[in-house]
Structure 1
Amino acid sequence: MPYRDLYEICQKQSLHIPRNFIKSEVLRLTGKEKIRVVCTDSDPSLCRGMFISFGNNESNIARQCGCDVIVLARGMNRCWQRIVYIKELMHLFDAHAESTFGGHEFDTLLSEMSGAETPTRSPQWRSEIKAFWMALACLCPEDKRINFMELRKSGKIDDYSIALQLRIPQQYVPRLFQQNYGLIIQEILNNGS
């Protein structure tokens, strides 16, 4: 279970885990040789990033790069780039059914993400949510998270200070402390990615 292996590796790291360290471990665990990053001038309020699989027959960019590609919106600060990059990197752990390989699947995913009512969520939508939690768990080892939680409860640290130490957007810090955080991560670890 490669993600579980990555999670365990990240648990042993110091507070700031470099994204290149995570990248090298993900590539090693998934057997991939490389992944490219392409920055675009797209509006980050519409799309901060995306993962394009080399197996996507409709993608010229992946074919030109000769590998999987992470696309990042250029207008983000470093904290945003970091979380988006790591989240998109988590898609290397996706099962085939979770990948978006064509325009129809991508359109469905965009509809679901924009709040369109659907009777069930697609595997691609579930993959997006899972990738976020996987990234967050890698960027904040559990012992550090528990320490932050105790300091936060006692008022000795605020969300901004935690965000600075983790180098993630402040708006995601409360996610680390929501009541079901442990259950979400345990479910991901148990279901194997």
Structure 2
Amino acid sequence: MRVAVDGPDVAAPGELATALADRLPVLGRPAVVVSAAGFLRPASLRFEHGRTDPDARYTDWLDAGALAREVLDRVGPGGPGEYLPVLWDVARDRAARAGYQQVPPGGVLLVPGPLLQGVGLAFDVVVHLRVAPAARRRRFPAEQAWELPAFDRYDDEVDPVALADAVVLADRPEHPALVLQGRLGC
């Protein structure tokens, strides 16, 4: 099963994915976490229009094709059941040179990251961590405020709440609330 944990960094999608991965084995479902941050494009492409371009943040940062090719398609139906845990080392701005790893039988692949919906990625389940625009403006660090228009655009153009299987209201991280159960039937 391929699960997206979609949400801005202030909603901590990686923390939720890790917490789920820690709990799923008790339920008989081993889990692995592959962060979308390991599939960002090289800096020369991400920052082609400057380091603070919200349109580039929205459309040019994630290498959705590589994430599909190296992770989601390989773990999905008909794939070999193995995945690349990271493609690009953002800190060094070079290929990570990681080897493929096998998903355990009956395993769950969790992919945390922002702006994951609406780009054609094949997830079986999508959990969207919803942070309302006003809460985003309060919670985004000042040095990341330039990203806010990208998330506003995402809400307007993709409507991630409508596409998600489950939505967690994450305006206040200490009090998350499941607000939509979707097709999960939870």
**Please, what TM-score do these two structures have when normalized by structure 2?**
0.35
The structure with the greater share of residues assigned to strand is: 2
By percentage of residues, which structure has more helix?
1
- Whose RCO is larger (CA < 8 A, sep 6+)? 2
